[in-house]
Protein backbone atom coordinates (compact mmCIF):
# COMPACT_ATOMS: atom_id res chain seq x y z
CA UNK A 1 0.00 0.00 0.00
CA UNK A 2 1.31 3.45 -0.93
CA UNK A 3 0.51 5.30 2.29
CA UNK A 4 1.72 8.68 0.97
CA UNK A 5 -0.78 8.52 -1.93
CA UNK A 6 -3.47 7.21 0.39
CA UNK A 7 -2.90 10.15 2.77
CA UNK A 8 -3.20 12.61 -0.14
CA UNK A 9 -6.40 10.92 -1.36
CA UNK A 10 -7.81 11.21 2.16
CA UNK A 11 -7.13 14.94 2.07
CA UNK A 12 -4.42 14.80 4.73
CA UNK A 13 -1.09 14.74 2.88
CA UNK A 14 1.70 14.19 5.33
CA UNK A 15 4.78 16.30 5.80
CA UNK A 16 6.51 13.07 6.70
CA UNK A 17 9.81 12.64 4.96
CA UNK A 18 12.66 14.92 4.05
CA UNK A 19 12.54 17.93 1.77
CA UNK A 20 14.11 17.58 -1.67
CA UNK A 21 16.87 19.95 -0.58
CA UNK A 22 17.65 17.86 2.50
CA UNK A 23 17.63 14.67 0.40
CA UNK A 24 20.05 16.14 -2.15
CA UNK A 25 22.37 17.44 0.58
CA UNK A 26 22.20 14.07 2.39
CA UNK A 27 22.97 12.12 -0.78
CA UNK A 28 25.93 14.41 -1.58
CA UNK A 29 27.34 13.93 1.93
CA UNK A 30 26.90 10.15 1.74
CA UNK A 31 28.66 10.02 -1.65
CA UNK A 32 31.56 12.01 -0.21
CA UNK A 33 31.88 9.71 2.81
CA UNK A 34 31.84 6.63 0.58
CA UNK A 35 34.28 7.99 -2.05
CA UNK A 36 37.58 6.21 -2.72
CA UNK A 37 36.22 2.78 -1.88
CA UNK A 38 34.75 4.03 1.41
CA UNK A 39 38.20 4.95 2.78
CA UNK A 40 36.83 7.67 5.10
CA UNK A 41 33.92 5.56 6.26
CA UNK A 42 36.19 2.61 7.01
CA UNK A 43 38.62 4.90 8.83
CA UNK A 44 35.74 6.03 11.07
CA UNK A 45 34.56 2.43 11.59
CA UNK A 46 38.08 1.49 12.66
CA UNK A 47 38.45 4.50 14.97
CA UNK A 48 35.00 4.34 16.56
CA UNK A 49 34.12 0.63 16.62
CA UNK A 50 37.27 -1.44 16.39
CA UNK A 51 40.44 0.57 17.16
CA UNK A 52 42.34 -2.58 18.16
CA UNK A 53 42.00 -4.14 14.69
CA UNK A 54 44.44 -3.70 11.82
CA UNK A 55 43.85 -0.48 9.83
CA UNK A 56 41.29 -0.92 7.03
CA UNK A 57 43.61 -0.53 4.06
CA UNK A 58 42.67 -2.38 0.90
CA UNK A 59 39.22 -3.29 2.21
CA UNK A 60 36.94 -5.31 -0.07
CA UNK A 61 33.92 -3.55 -1.55
CA UNK A 62 31.83 -6.32 -3.12
CA UNK A 63 29.46 -5.66 -6.00
CA UNK A 64 25.91 -6.13 -4.71
CA UNK A 65 24.11 -5.57 -8.01
CA UNK A 66 21.28 -8.04 -8.61
CA UNK A 67 17.77 -8.11 -10.05
CA UNK A 68 14.95 -7.12 -7.72
CA UNK A 69 14.91 -6.95 -3.92
CA UNK A 70 14.97 -10.73 -3.51
CA UNK A 71 18.01 -10.97 -5.78
CA UNK A 72 19.79 -8.16 -3.95
CA UNK A 73 18.99 -9.78 -0.59
CA UNK A 74 20.51 -13.07 -1.73
CA UNK A 75 23.54 -11.27 -3.19
CA UNK A 76 24.06 -9.41 0.11
CA UNK A 77 23.90 -12.65 2.12
CA UNK A 78 26.46 -14.22 -0.21
CA UNK A 79 28.77 -11.20 0.00
CA UNK A 80 28.55 -11.18 3.79
CA UNK A 81 29.44 -14.88 3.94
CA UNK A 82 32.39 -14.49 1.56
CA UNK A 83 33.73 -11.39 3.33
CA UNK A 84 33.46 -13.08 6.73
CA UNK A 85 35.37 -16.13 5.50
CA UNK A 86 38.02 -13.98 3.80
CA UNK A 87 38.90 -12.10 6.99
CA UNK A 88 39.95 -8.47 6.78
CA UNK A 89 37.76 -5.41 6.36
CA UNK A 90 34.90 -5.24 3.86
CA UNK A 91 32.37 -2.54 3.09
CA UNK A 92 28.92 -3.42 1.75
CA UNK A 93 27.46 -0.29 0.17
CA UNK A 94 23.65 -0.23 0.35
CA UNK A 95 23.13 -3.93 1.03
CA UNK A 96 19.60 -5.33 0.99
CA UNK A 97 18.22 -7.15 4.02
CA UNK A 98 14.87 -8.82 4.62
CA UNK A 99 12.88 -8.92 7.84
CA UNK A 100 9.63 -10.66 8.63
CA UNK A 101 7.16 -7.99 9.77
CA UNK A 102 3.77 -9.34 10.86
CA UNK A 103 4.08 -12.27 8.45
CA UNK A 104 5.13 -10.19 5.46
CA UNK A 105 8.68 -9.78 4.20
CA UNK A 106 9.97 -6.20 4.44
CA UNK A 107 13.10 -5.26 2.48
CA UNK A 108 15.51 -2.92 4.22
CA UNK A 109 18.47 -1.01 2.85
CA UNK A 110 20.99 0.26 5.40
CA UNK A 111 23.47 2.89 4.23
CA UNK A 112 26.28 0.39 4.71
CA UNK A 113 27.39 -2.69 6.61
CA UNK A 114 31.01 -3.19 7.61
CA UNK A 115 32.61 -6.61 8.06
CA UNK A 116 35.44 -6.49 10.61
CA UNK A 117 38.64 -8.55 10.44
CA UNK A 118 37.36 -10.73 13.32
CA UNK A 119 34.30 -11.66 11.20
CA UNK A 120 31.81 -9.51 13.11
CA UNK A 121 29.38 -7.18 11.32
CA UNK A 122 28.39 -3.57 12.04
CA UNK A 123 25.59 -1.37 10.73
CA UNK A 124 26.51 2.10 9.47
CA UNK A 125 24.01 4.96 9.35
CA UNK A 126 24.93 8.16 7.49
CA UNK A 127 22.83 11.18 8.42
CA UNK A 128 22.89 14.78 7.22
CA UNK A 129 22.19 16.40 10.62
CA UNK A 130 25.36 17.90 12.05
CA UNK A 131 27.51 16.85 14.96
CA UNK A 132 28.32 20.14 16.68
CA UNK A 133 31.30 20.26 18.99
CA UNK A 134 31.27 16.48 19.01
CA UNK A 135 27.59 16.06 19.98
CA UNK A 136 24.41 15.67 17.92
CA UNK A 137 20.71 16.40 18.52
CA UNK A 138 19.57 13.63 20.94
CA UNK A 139 16.14 13.28 19.30
CA UNK A 140 17.68 12.75 15.87
CA UNK A 141 20.26 10.35 17.27
CA UNK A 142 17.42 8.45 18.97
CA UNK A 143 15.55 8.12 15.67
CA UNK A 144 18.74 6.95 13.92
CA UNK A 145 19.34 4.41 16.70
CA UNK A 146 15.81 2.99 16.32
CA UNK A 147 16.31 2.70 12.56
CA UNK A 148 19.70 1.03 12.98
CA UNK A 149 18.24 -1.41 15.53
CA UNK A 150 15.87 -2.74 12.84
CA UNK A 151 18.86 -3.32 10.54
CA UNK A 152 20.69 -5.10 13.36
CA UNK A 153 17.73 -7.48 13.77
CA UNK A 154 17.64 -8.15 10.02
CA UNK A 155 21.41 -8.75 9.95
CA UNK A 156 21.08 -11.19 12.85
CA UNK A 157 18.67 -13.24 10.73
CA UNK A 158 21.30 -13.46 7.97
CA UNK A 159 24.02 -14.31 10.50
CA UNK A 160 21.81 -16.99 12.06
CA UNK A 161 21.84 -18.94 8.78
CA UNK A 162 25.65 -19.16 8.73
CA UNK A 163 27.81 -21.66 10.55
CA UNK A 164 29.68 -20.50 12.57
CA UNK A 165 27.30 -17.62 13.27
CA UNK A 166 29.04 -14.25 12.93
CA UNK A 167 28.57 -11.68 15.69
CA UNK A 168 26.37 -8.72 14.78
CA UNK A 169 27.64 -5.81 16.85
CA UNK A 170 25.12 -3.83 18.86
CA UNK A 171 27.19 -0.66 18.61
CA UNK A 172 26.49 0.94 15.25
CA UNK A 173 28.46 3.65 13.50
CA UNK A 174 26.66 6.97 13.09
CA UNK A 175 28.31 9.30 10.57
CA UNK A 176 27.29 12.98 10.38
CA UNK A 177 28.74 16.22 8.97
CA UNK A 178 31.15 17.78 11.39
CA UNK A 179 30.12 21.29 12.58
CA UNK A 180 28.16 22.08 9.34
CA UNK A 181 31.28 21.36 7.28
CA UNK A 182 31.75 18.78 4.53
CA UNK A 183 33.96 16.72 6.82
CA UNK A 184 32.60 13.56 8.42
CA UNK A 185 32.39 12.85 12.13
CA UNK A 186 31.73 9.36 13.45
CA UNK A 187 30.23 8.10 16.69
CA UNK A 188 29.52 4.65 18.09
CA UNK A 189 25.90 4.35 19.23
CA UNK A 190 24.78 1.50 21.48
CA UNK A 191 21.43 0.24 20.15
CA UNK A 192 20.89 -2.67 22.56
CA UNK A 193 17.85 -1.03 24.15
CA UNK A 194 16.27 -0.09 20.81
CA UNK A 195 16.97 -3.58 19.46
CA UNK A 196 15.25 -5.23 22.41
CA UNK A 197 12.23 -2.91 22.18
CA UNK A 198 11.88 -3.45 18.42
CA UNK A 199 12.21 -7.22 18.76
CA UNK A 200 9.44 -7.22 21.39
CA UNK A 201 7.21 -5.03 19.22
CA UNK A 202 7.76 -7.21 16.15
CA UNK A 203 6.90 -10.35 18.12
CA UNK A 204 3.63 -8.76 19.30
CA UNK A 205 2.47 -7.41 15.93
CA UNK A 206 -0.85 -8.69 14.68
CA UNK A 207 -0.26 -10.71 11.54
CA UNK A 208 -1.33 -9.09 8.29
CA UNK A 209 -3.63 -12.02 7.41
CA UNK A 210 -5.51 -11.55 10.69
CA UNK A 211 -5.95 -7.82 10.00
CA UNK A 212 -7.12 -8.58 6.45
CA UNK A 213 -9.59 -11.20 7.68
CA UNK A 214 -11.17 -8.69 10.06
CA UNK A 215 -11.77 -6.11 7.32
CA UNK A 216 -15.32 -5.67 6.02
CA UNK A 217 -16.16 -7.16 2.65
CA UNK A 218 -15.00 -4.91 -0.19
CA UNK A 219 -12.69 -2.71 1.90
CA UNK A 220 -10.14 -1.26 -0.49
CA UNK A 221 -7.24 1.15 0.01
CA UNK A 222 -6.60 2.01 -3.65
CA UNK A 223 -5.90 5.77 -3.81
CA UNK A 224 -8.26 6.19 -6.79
CA UNK A 225 -11.31 5.47 -4.56
CA UNK A 226 -13.39 8.35 -3.20
CA UNK A 227 -12.31 10.04 0.03
CA UNK A 228 -15.43 8.67 1.75
CA UNK A 229 -14.69 5.07 0.75
CA UNK A 230 -11.06 5.43 1.78
CA UNK A 231 -11.98 6.99 5.13
CA UNK A 232 -14.30 4.08 5.85
CA UNK A 233 -11.65 1.54 4.80
CA UNK A 234 -8.95 3.15 6.97
CA UNK A 235 -11.37 3.45 9.90
CA UNK A 236 -11.96 -0.31 9.69
CA UNK A 237 -8.36 -0.91 10.80
CA UNK A 238 -7.84 -0.16 14.50
CA UNK A 239 -5.17 2.50 14.98
CA UNK A 240 -3.75 4.15 18.07
CA UNK A 241 -2.33 7.50 17.08
CA UNK A 242 0.56 8.88 19.15
CA UNK A 243 2.75 11.95 18.56
CA UNK A 244 5.59 9.64 17.50
CA UNK A 245 3.54 8.85 14.36
CA UNK A 246 4.35 12.34 13.05
CA UNK A 247 7.93 11.32 12.40
CA UNK A 248 7.21 7.77 11.29
CA UNK A 249 4.03 7.41 9.24
CA UNK A 250 2.53 9.04 6.17
CA UNK A 251 -0.98 8.78 7.63
CA UNK A 252 -0.09 10.77 10.73
CA UNK A 253 -2.15 13.88 9.91
CA UNK A 254 -5.22 11.79 9.07
CA UNK A 255 -4.93 9.72 12.27
CA UNK A 256 -4.22 12.83 14.36
CA UNK A 257 -7.41 14.51 13.11
CA UNK A 258 -9.42 11.42 14.02
CA UNK A 259 -7.75 11.08 17.42
CA UNK A 260 -8.56 14.74 18.16
CA UNK A 261 -12.17 14.33 17.05
CA UNK A 262 -12.52 11.29 19.31
CA UNK A 263 -10.83 13.07 22.22
CA UNK A 264 -8.31 10.22 22.48
CA UNK A 265 -5.69 10.71 25.18
CA UNK A 266 -3.05 8.89 23.13
CA UNK A 267 -2.40 12.06 21.16
CA UNK A 268 -0.98 13.57 24.33
CA UNK A 269 1.77 10.96 24.34
CA UNK A 270 2.17 7.32 25.27
CA UNK A 271 3.57 8.01 28.77
CA UNK A 272 0.40 9.94 29.73
CA UNK A 273 -1.80 7.25 28.22
CA UNK A 274 0.01 4.67 30.36
CA UNK A 275 -0.54 6.81 33.49
CA UNK A 276 -4.28 7.06 32.79
CA UNK A 277 -4.85 3.31 32.73
CA UNK A 278 -8.27 2.50 31.27
CA UNK A 279 -9.28 6.14 30.69
CA UNK A 280 -9.10 6.44 26.91
CA UNK A 281 -10.67 9.84 26.21
CA UNK A 282 -10.41 13.36 27.59
CA UNK A 283 -14.14 13.11 28.40
CA UNK A 284 -13.52 9.99 30.53
CA UNK A 285 -10.66 11.73 32.31
CA UNK A 286 -12.76 14.80 33.13
CA UNK A 287 -15.69 12.70 34.30
CA UNK A 288 -13.35 10.71 36.55
CA UNK A 289 -11.77 13.91 37.93
CA UNK A 290 -15.21 15.36 38.72
CA UNK A 291 -16.22 12.19 40.53
CA UNK A 292 -18.95 11.38 38.03
CA UNK A 293 -17.50 8.08 36.86
CA UNK A 294 -14.85 5.53 37.67
CA UNK A 295 -13.80 3.40 40.59
CA UNK A 296 -12.30 5.59 43.34
CA UNK A 297 -10.02 2.68 44.30
CA UNK A 298 -8.33 2.91 40.88
CA UNK A 299 -4.98 4.70 41.50
CA UNK A 300 -5.31 6.79 38.30
CA UNK A 301 -8.80 7.95 39.23
CA UNK A 302 -7.78 8.65 42.83
CA UNK A 303 -4.84 10.75 41.57
CA UNK A 304 -7.10 12.69 39.17
CA UNK A 305 -9.61 13.47 41.93
CA UNK A 306 -6.86 14.56 44.28
CA UNK A 307 -5.41 16.80 41.54
CA UNK A 308 -8.86 18.29 40.81
CA UNK A 309 -9.44 18.95 44.53
CA UNK A 310 -6.03 20.62 44.91
CA UNK A 311 -6.70 22.75 41.86
CA UNK A 312 -10.12 23.86 43.14
CA UNK A 313 -8.60 24.63 46.53
CA UNK A 314 -5.80 26.68 45.00
CA UNK A 315 -8.18 28.64 42.79
CA UNK A 316 -10.59 29.27 45.67
CA UNK A 317 -7.89 30.68 47.95
CA UNK A 318 -5.93 32.66 45.35
CA UNK A 319 -6.93 36.32 45.46
CA UNK A 320 -8.66 37.52 42.32
CA UNK A 321 -9.01 34.02 40.92
CA UNK A 322 -12.29 32.32 40.19
CA UNK A 323 -12.97 28.63 40.45
CA UNK A 324 -13.21 27.01 37.09
CA UNK A 325 -14.11 23.45 36.25
CA UNK A 326 -11.33 21.40 34.71
CA UNK A 327 -13.35 21.16 31.54
CA UNK A 328 -13.01 24.91 30.91
CA UNK A 329 -9.37 24.43 30.14
CA UNK A 330 -9.78 21.07 28.55
CA UNK A 331 -8.97 20.41 25.01
CA UNK A 332 -12.24 20.50 23.09
CA UNK A 333 -12.27 17.83 20.40
CA UNK A 334 -12.00 19.35 16.99
CA UNK A 335 -10.64 22.69 18.19
CA UNK A 336 -7.36 21.58 19.61
CA UNK A 337 -4.15 23.19 18.56
CA UNK A 338 -1.09 21.11 19.22
CA UNK A 339 0.53 22.57 22.29
CA UNK A 340 3.75 21.81 24.01
CA UNK A 341 2.41 18.58 25.49
CA UNK A 342 1.40 17.09 22.17
CA UNK A 343 4.55 16.00 20.49
CA UNK A 344 6.54 15.52 23.68
CA UNK A 345 8.54 12.45 22.96
CA UNK A 346 8.21 13.10 19.25
CA UNK A 347 10.50 15.14 17.02
CA UNK A 348 12.18 17.74 19.11
CA UNK A 349 10.70 16.25 22.25
CA UNK A 350 12.44 14.34 24.95
CA UNK A 351 12.57 11.02 23.10
CA UNK A 352 16.03 9.77 22.70
CA UNK A 353 17.40 12.11 25.35
CA UNK A 354 19.46 9.23 26.60
CA UNK A 355 20.98 8.69 23.18
CA UNK A 356 23.24 11.71 23.25
CA UNK A 357 26.44 10.81 21.48
CA UNK A 358 29.89 12.20 21.30
CA UNK A 359 32.04 12.00 18.23
CA UNK A 360 35.03 9.70 18.46
CA UNK A 361 36.77 11.30 15.46
Interacting residue ranges for ligand SF4, rule: CB under 6 A? 239-241, 245, 249, 251-252, 255
In the complex, minimum distance from the CB of residue 248 to ligand SF4, in angstroms, rounded to a whole number? 6
Q: Which residues contact 118 (CB under 8 A, 6 or more apart)?
A: 50, 53, 167
Phi, psi of 175 (to 5 degrees): -120, 125
Cis status, amide bond into 164, omega within 30 of 0: yes
Q: Which is nearer to ligand SF4, 174 or 245 (CB)?
A: 245
Identify which of residues 151 and 241 has a Cβ nearer to ligand SF4 in the complex.
241
Query: In terms of Cα–Cα distance, which of 129, 44, 131 is closest to 91?
Result: 44
> From the CB of 244, what's the least distance to ligand SF4, in Å?
8
Q: Which is nearer to ligand SF4, 27 or 240 (CB)?
A: 240
DSSP string, 247-290: GT-TTHHHHHHHHHHHTBGGGG-HHHHHHTTT--BHHHHHHHHT
Instruction: State in angstroms the smallest separation of the CB of 253 from ligand SF4.
Output: 8
> For residues 308 and 338, which CB has a smaller minimum distance to ligand SF4 in the complex?
338
- Least distance to ligand SF4, CB of residue 241, Å: 4
Task: Say if residues 199 and 157 touch (Cβ distance below 8 Å).
Answer: no
Q: How far is the CB of 205 from ligand SF4 (least distance, A)?
A: 12
CB nearer ligand SF4, residue 12 or residue 176? 12
d(CA 125, CA 144): 7
Q: How far is the CB of 252 from ligand SF4 (least distance, A)?
A: 4
Which CB sits closer to ligand SF4, 13 or 88? 13
Beta bridge partners of 105: 100
Q: How far apart are CA 38 and CA 15, in angstroms?
A: 33
Closest CA to 351 of 295, 271, 278: 271
Amino acid sequence: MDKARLASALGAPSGFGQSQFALTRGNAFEARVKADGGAELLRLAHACLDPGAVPPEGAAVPDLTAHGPEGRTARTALALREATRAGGWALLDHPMLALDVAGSLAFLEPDAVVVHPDGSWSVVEIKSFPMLDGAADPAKVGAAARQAAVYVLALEEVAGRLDPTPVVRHRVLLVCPKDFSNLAAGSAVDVRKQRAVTARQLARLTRIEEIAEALPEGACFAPDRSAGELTAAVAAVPATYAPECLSACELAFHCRDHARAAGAVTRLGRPLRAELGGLATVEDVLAAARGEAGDPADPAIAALRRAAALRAEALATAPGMRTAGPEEEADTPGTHTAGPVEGAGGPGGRAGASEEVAACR
